[in-house]
Amino acid sequence: MDLVPALEEPLRQPLKSVLGPATAKVMAEHLGLLTVGDLLHHYPRRYEERGQLTHLADLPMDEHVTVVAQVADARLHTFASAKAPRGKGQRLEVTITDGSGRLQLVFFGAGVHKPHKELLPGTRAMFAGKVSVFNRRLQLAHPAYELLRGDPEESVETWAGALIPIYPATAKLESWKIGKAIQTVLPTAQEAVDPLPDTLREGRGLVPLPEALLKIHRPHTKADIEDARSRLKWDEAFVLQVALARRRHADAQLPAVPRKPAPEGLLTAFDARLPFTLTDGQQRVSREIFDDLATDHPMHRLLQGEVGSGKTMVALRAMLAVVDAGGQAAMLAPTEVLAQQHHRSVVEMMGELAEGGMLGGAEQATKVVLLTGSMGAAARRHALLDLTTGEAGIVIGTHALIEDKVQFHDLGLVVVDEQHRFGVEQRDALRGKGKQPPHLLVMTATPIPRTVAMTVFGDLETSVLDQLPAGRSPIASHVVPAADKPHFLSRAWERVREEVENGHQAYVVCPRIGDEEDDPKKSGKKKSPEDEAEKRPPLAVLDVADQLTKGPLQGLRVEVLHGRMHPDDKDAVMRRFAAGETHVLVATTVIEVGVNVPNATAMVIMDADRFGVSQLHQLRGRVGRGSAPGLCLLVTEMPEASPARQRLGAVASTLDGFELSRIDLEQRREGDVLGQAQSGARTSLKVLAVIEDEEIIAEAREEATAVVANDPELTRLPALRTALDALLDEEREQYLEKG
C-alpha cells in the first residue's frame, strides 16, 4: 500500500539514497523491500521486553531467530585442526540463558576475539542466527549480537520496560539493523493515505493508518500494539477481499453456454455400467456441479476432498455431462505421469464408451485422447485433429494443451487437477480456447480450512467431499526415530518385506533424486562454521535404492521413479509397478498426487521432516487404496523435542486432512497461504492470520462485496483503488481470483 510519492521513494537510488546502498541492496534482494512504503509495511514479528528474556525452549529448528537472553558463562577452548595443526585453533563456547532453558553459542577462529571481550557473564544482548543441533543440543553458530545497554539518560524502569520490536530478518541483515532503518523513515508514515472508507473505519473504531504505522513500529504499551494490529489486519483483509469481490463481479458478467446432459445419453450409459454406487457426498457434489453447468454464466467451482474421496469420478461425470450437451471437456494435470494415469483410468472406467468412432465402440461413445509434450509427432497430429473436429469429447493432458497449435471444436469445461501446480497464465490460456468462456472446475486433494478458501479462492464456490468410498482401508501411521532408535528402522524394512511376502507392494519416498551436480553457487566457496554445523543433505532416491537393493531389501525387485527420467521410462516403471511386477518403488514426490495402485500397502518416507504436513498427507494417501490395510512409516533423525518431530507426530495421529491443514497453516508462515511462489509477488499477508482472524475475514468479505456492488470501479474511493493497485498488479489480482 505504497500510496504517495514519499512512500513510493526507492530505498536505493543513484543520487540520494534513503538508506546506505549496501543496506538497501540487502533489503531489496533478501526481503523484497524496495520503497519507503515497503519498509514501513515490514512489521515486527513480535516484541521483547528489555527486562524479560526469550523462552529458549520453543526455538524452531533451522530458522533464523532473534533472541534476547543473558550470558551464563563463556569458555575459550584451543584445539588442533587441519588449519591449525599445532593446537592453535580457537573455539569460544558461550552459554546463554532465559532463567529456565539454555542455548549454546559457538564462535571459531579469529571470530572469537570480540565476543570473548564483550560477552561476559551477566551481559544481556540480542542474538541472531540459525538454530541447529550439535551433539543433540540446540546451538547458534557464529550468531550476530547487539548488547543491550541502558541509555545513561533513561531510568532503569523505563529501560527495562521498553518494548523491542523483533523484525523478520535474514542472515545478511539482523533485526536491530532493520529496526534502525525503519526509525529513519518512520516520519514519512504521516503521509500514508488511508485505503479504508471513513464510514467503515469509524464504524469499527479503527485508528487511522499513519497512527497504526507509528504504533506498530514504536509502541509505548502493549495496547498500542493491539490498536495497530487490529487496524492493519483490517487493511489486509479488506483490500484483499475487494480484489476478490471485483473479480467475482466481473466473472458474473461473462456469458457461457449452458450444458445440460442429454437424457439417456453418455452419462446415463456410464452410470449404468458402474460396478458400485456413488457415495452420498459424490451425488450431492455432482448435483451442485450440474446445476452450475446449466446456467448461462461460467461455473467457477473448487472441488476439495480428502485423499481418495473419489474426486476424479465426480470430475469425469461432469465431463461426460458436457460431452452429452455437445461440448468438449479438457482435464489439465500437473505432470506427465499423472496425465497418463488419469487417461488410463478414465478409459478403463468408460470401457466401450471411450471408443467413439471405433469398431466395438458403444453407440453413445466419444473419444478420450491424451496430449503430452513427449508424444511422437504422428500421435500428436492425430490427437490435435480429433480435438479440432470434435471427434474427441474428452482430452487429458499437461501444459501441452495450452500451446497455440491446440484448437478445440467447442470447449465447454476445463477441469484443473491439483490447482497449486499451475500458474494463472496457464489456466487462462486454456480457458481462452473456448468460443465463450468455458466452465471451470478446480480440484484439490489438500483440504483447505474455510477461511483460507475464502481468502485464496474468493470467487470459487466450494464443494467438499469428506467421506471415503466403501472398501477403502484405514492407514496406520508411525514415526520411526532413526537416530534415537536405529532398530526401529531395521524393523521398518522387515515390515516392507512382510508386505511383499503377503503379495503386496511398497513405496519408499526420498526428498532428492541424487544425480544433481553440485550447486555452482556452493562449490568453490569456503564453508563457514555455520555451514559446517548444518545437517547432512537430504537422502536421495538413487542412493537409497542402491543401499536397499544391496542390504535390507536384497532379492526384491526394486525400481526408481523421479522427475528427470524420460517420460517413456517413467510410464514404463509405473506400468510395471501397477501390474505388480515391481515389489518396491523408490521415488521422489512425483507419486504425490493421483497415482493409484490398490495393491501397494506400505510406504516408508525417508527424512520425513523435510516434507510439509499436507505433502505427507498426500503421499500417505497412495497406500490403503485397496481392501488391505495401509501402513505409512515416517522416518526422521530429528530429536524428540524438536518442532519437526511434533509435526510428524501430528501427521501420524490423524487421517483427517482438514485437521492437518489447520496444523500445517498454524506452523507455516501465513504468507505461504497465498502461494507467493506461484504468483511471483511478495506475500500480502503480514499481520492477518487466516486461522485466528476468521471473523475479520468474513466481515471484510461482506463489506467488500457491498462496496464493489455500489461502485465496481471504485471511482468514489481513489485511496482504496491506489491501495489495490499497489497490492495487486494485474497479474496478481487474477492469480488470487483463480486460486
pLDDT tens digits for range 209-238:
999 999 999 998 999 999 999 999 999 899
Helix/strand/coil for 390: coil
> Residues 369-421: pLDDT tens digits?
999 988 888 999 999 999 999 999 999 998 888 887 889 999 999 998 865 55
Looking at this protein, which amino acid is placed at residue 80?
Answer: A
Output phi, psi for 490, to 5 deg.
Answer: -60, -40
Residues 6+ apart with CB under 8 A from 571: 336, 337, 340
Between residues 692 and 258, the one the model is more confident about: 258
pTM of the predicted model as reported, rounded to 2 decimal places: 0.66
**Better-predicted residue by pLDDT, 151 or 472:** 472
Give dist(CA 166, CA 186) in Å, integer: 16
Contacts of 432 (CB under 8 A, 6+ apart): none
| pLDDT at residue 638 greater than cutoff 80 | yes
List the one residue out of 552, 446, 536 whose CA is nearest residue 498: 552
Distance of alpha carbon 663 from alpha carbon 675, whole angstroms: 17
Residue 248 has pLDDT above 70, yes or no: yes
User: At 74, phi and psi to the nearest 5?
Assistant: -140, 130
Task: Taking the CA atoms of 394, 397, 399 and 404 in sequence, report the sign of the dihedral they define.
Answer: negative
- For residues 667 and 435, the model is more confident at 435
Q: Is the pLDDT score of 311 beyond 90? A: no
- Cα separation, 685 vs 691, in Å, equals 12
Listed residue (660, 649, 596, 662) closest to 624, CA to CA: 596
Q: How confident is the model at residue 200 (pLDDT cuts 50, 70, 90)?
A: very high
DSSP category for residue 110: G
What's the pLDDT score for residue 154? 53
Q: What angle is formed at CA 671 by the lines to CA 24 and CA 454, rounded to 5 degrees? A: 145
Does 363 or 271 have the greater pLDDT score?
271
Residue pLDDT, tens place only, 446-487: 777 766 777 766 767 888 887 766 666 778 999 999 888 889
pLDDT at 130 over 90: no
Q: Is the pLDDT of residue 1 over 50?
A: no
Ramachandran sector of residue 357 (left: φ over 0; alpha: ψ -120 to 50; beta: rest): left
Residue 411 backbone phi and psi in degrees, to 5: -75, 120
As a 3-state breakdown, the chain gives helix, strand, coil percent values, each rounded to 5, of 45, 20, 40
User: What pLDDT is stored for residue 604 in this prediction?
Assistant: 96
